Structure 1
Amino acid sequence: MTYCIAASINEGLILVSDSRTNAGIDNVSTHGKMHAFATNSDRIIVLLCAGNLATTQAVFEQLHRDKIKNAPINVNNVECLSEAAAYLGHVSLEKQKQHLNAEGQSAFNPSASFILAGQIGSEPHGAYMVYAEGNSITSSANTPFLQIGESKYGKPILDRFLKLNTSIDEAARCCLVSMDSTIRSNASVGPPVEMLIYRKDTFRFEEYYCFDDDNDYLLQLRRSWETKLREAVAALPSLNKESIRSMQVTL
């Protein structure tokens, strides 16, 4: 399984991904799901991947080959992120069809989803989620983040705290807590955890982090979050039987 987050806020982008691809009883494997392209100086483009590993690898390799060969459409000549997302969706569909048409693959599920994030030229930075069907959506003012993979465990903190005007450093911590909450609740999501912070209009990758399970900062963040949660629950208002209307239940 997979969990990836892309937060697009006023100050820039925060991209976070886990690395677990299999979590059987005696077989745990990992593979990076964040891919940053080396592009022209007027753009920054990063992919986060979820779904079938063969498909996601094939898609990334095709995008890389198109860039090297200067294909008519590639990551270096698209004019905006929405065009890049449409191009990515087309390549993804083609690779899925190739797997489906292969002999002996009737039970094989080649579907994959992606988040494409970055900035191109004078266009604002942003993020797009590309579905397995090839269509895409972008983040919004009300929901300034996108998720792919095992999203339900890490979504509550993003819904409550992540806003467009959240500082980029606070948003990064929020995304890491979201990832750690998912790791805690689902064994199929696991470290190493990669995080890339992009500050708008810089067109540089300067803040990249990779956290193993025993990373000191990640452990400190986990303990602090759990402690604060316990304190918050303990401080909640007590039940007041006189002010709460009770309902009699007949069994």
Structure 2
Amino acid sequence: MTYCLGILTTSGLVMAADSRTNAGVDYISTYQKLFDFSVPGERVIVICTAGNLSITQEVLTLIRRDLKGQLEHSLNTLPNMYEVVRYVGSKLREVSDTHRPWLSKDNIDHQCTFLVGGQIRGEEPFLYLIYSQGNFLQATPETPFLQIGETKYGKPILDRTLRFDTPVDAAAKYALLSLDSTMKSNISVGPPLDLIMYRTNSFEIGHRAEFVLGDPFLVKVRKFWEASLRRAFEEMPDIEWNRSHSSPSSSLVLPVPDAIATD
């Protein structure tokens, strides 16, 4: 398992990933999950991967092959981020369709997901999440972050703090805390951690960081965050016990929808 996230703000883009893979308690390895395909001055494209490692690696191999062969359609030639994400989705679908029958035969999970973020000159930055089937969704001002992999432990801090107008520097801190919180609660997510911060219209990634196991700054951040949480807990109002309400909860009747909505 792994954990990757992307954050889109009015001032830029943050993408981060751990590097741990888990094929059982006795087979834990380290593989890169964040990949930079940028052309400085023209376009910034960053891809994060999670899920079946053999499929994600083959997709990246096909993408690099198209770049090396200078094909008409590649990450260097596509005119906008929408076409980029469609291209990556088609590669993912191609590889998944090839291997799915054989993986399913042996009950091997073939699912994988990609995050694709960046900016091409002439348009604003974008952030997308691509599913195994090749379809995708886009980050929006209402939902400015997307996650893949082991998402549940790192989501609460983003839900409570992050907004579309959050400065990108602060968004990078939230990303690091989200990763650290996930590592604290799940041993299948671990360092090295890769973190990039991109400022809108700069067309180059000027801020990168890698945090290895035991990194002094990462240890400092964890201790500071844990102390801050304990201090906030101590300042919380005490529970008001023996409270009563005129209408017991058992009498509460909620409306039943006519049909289950999908979005």
**Alpha-carbon distance, 1:184 to partner:** 0.6
Contact 2:38 2:204 in 1 (8 A): no
Could you say which residue in structure 1 is the equivalent of 2:60? 60
Instruction: Give unpaired runs (5+ residues) of structure 2.
Output: 250-263
CA distance in 1, matches of 2:211, 2:177: 13
How many angstroms does 1:170 deviate by? 1.2
What is the deviation of 1:24? 4.1
Q: Normalising by structure 2, report the TM-score.
A: 0.88
- CA offset at residue 107 of structure 1? 2.6
Q: By how many angstroms is 1:100 displaced?
A: 2.6
Instruction: Give the corresponding residue for 2:229.
Output: 229
Give the Å deviation of 1:104.
Answer: 9.4
Question: Conserved in 1, the CA contact under 8 Å of 2:115 and 2:128?
Answer: yes
Task: Name the CA shift for 1:104/1:11 in 2 (closer, same or farther; >3 Å).
Answer: closer
Counterpart of 1:96?
Answer: 96
- Asked if the contact 1:50–1:56 (Cα under 8 Å) also holds between the matched residues in 2, the reply is yes
Q: 1:224 and 1:45 mapped to 2: Cα distance?
A: 33
Q: Provide the rounded CA distance (Å) in 2 between the counterparts of 1:228 and 1:238.
A: 18
Q: In the alignment, what sits opposite 1:163?
A: 163
Instruction: Indicate if the aligned counterparts of 2:39 and 2:76 stay in contact, CA closer than 8 A.
Output: yes
Mapping 1:185-196, distance limit 5 Å: 185-196=185-196
Q: Give the letter aligned to residue 159 of structure 2.
A: D
1:154 is matched with 154
Q: Secondary structure at the match of 1:14?
A: strand
Query: Are residue 205 (structure 1) and residue 216 (structure 2) matched?
Result: no
**Once the two structures are superposed, what CA deviation does each residue of 1:106-141 show, in whole Å capped at 9, x if it has no partner?**
433322110000101111012100011111111111
Structure 2 residue aligned with 1:245: 244
- Sequence identity, in percent? 37
Q: 1:6 Cα shift? A: 0.3
Unaligned runs of 5+ in 1: none
- 1:217, distance to aligned residue in structure 2 (A): 0.8
Partner of 1:147, secondary structure, is strand
Say what the alpha-carbon RMSD is for the aligned residues: 2.0
CA–CA distance in structure 2, aligned partners of residues 144 and 181 of structure 1: 19
> How many pairs were matched up?
248
